Amino acid sequence: MTGSKRGYIIPIGGRESKLANPRVLEKFVQLSGGTNGYIVVIPTASELPDTGENYVNLFKNLGVKDAYSLEIDKRSDASREDYLKHLNQATGIFMTGGNQLLLSTTLGGTPVAQLIRRKNAAGTHVAGTSAGAAFIPEHMIAGGQPGLMPRGNMVVLAPGLGLTNKILVDQHFSQRDRLGRLLTALSYNPFITGVGIDEDTAAFLCPDSTIEVVGSGIITIVDMSHLSYSSVHKAGPNEPISLVGIRMHTLIEGGRYDALNHTVLAG
């Protein structure tokens, strides 16, 4: 439910289980008020016409009484008063997968994006899966190349929604071999903690900046707080990058990480 503290920020790695064991979505529903929840779905990243309604039906099947899809297909839709009214009543906001650049270029700077930030700051929980997860932080990974080794020009960054500047998210992480592009992105700004999220797995970023792992896969935490050297400033296109002093953790369900103090709390 909403309150005085910031709401949870919940990036999901994509392909979350929806029927057999939907524990990620169940926890989001529980946080958002359960049967009393008011969940708003934003399917803007998807180009499939039924994505929003499918998630509405899914949340209702999980016991939510009120669930609505905001069909924001163009920037002018993000100023609609009826959509803003739904968002104002929301206890949970869910952004679907698809294309994160479609999401950011349609929503960025609009009244809907501004209201989502205000609602989260006031206690409403915001989740996003796949492209929706990538869009959550201040900096968004918009694209890049697979591979283990960080290399120059391996990743494309763009502005995100800006709910947090503590983490940088990459999704479908193990499944699509994305460690190298996350390391490359983090080398540009070592202030940020990298969070690589597997499919059917979520990072529940609590109001106190603790990350809780929920789901069947792992979350890879890349801690840059002890970085002592980076060669990114002299790496040409596709040339390898040296990063010295980074710390990495892989956490399964039940694992917790303090993103403020850079410590593993459990797992």
CATH numbers and ranges of domains, the chain: 9-255 (3.40.50.880)
Q: Give the Cα separation of 170 and 241 in Å (integer).
A: 19
Q: What pLDDT was estimated at residue 267?
A: 62
Per-residue pLDDT, 76: 98
Nearest-CA neighbor of 10 among 176, 262, 263, 201?
201
Residue 113, token pair as written in the block: 């994006």
Pairing, β 201-205 against β 210-215: antiparallel
Residue 190 CB partners (closer than 8 Å, separation 6+): 224, 225, 227, 230
- Tens of pLDDT, residues 66-102: 999 999 999 999 999 999 999 999 999 999 999 999 9
What digits encode the pLDDT tens for the residues 183-209?
999 999 899 999 999 999 999 999 999
Q: How far apart are CA 127 and CA 25, in angstroms?
A: 9
- For residue 266, the model assigns a pLDDT of 72
For residues 29 and 39, is the Cβ–Cβ distance under 8 A?
yes
What is the enclosing helix (H) or strand (E) of 39? strand 38-42
Which tokens in the block code for residue 119? Answer: 């609602």
Active site residues: 130, 172, 199
- Report how far residue 109's alpha carbon sits from residue 92's, in angstroms, rounded to the nearest whole number: 21
Report, as ranges of residue numbers, the positions in the chain whose pLDDT lies below 50.
Answer: 1-3
| 8 Å CB contact between 13 and 136 | no
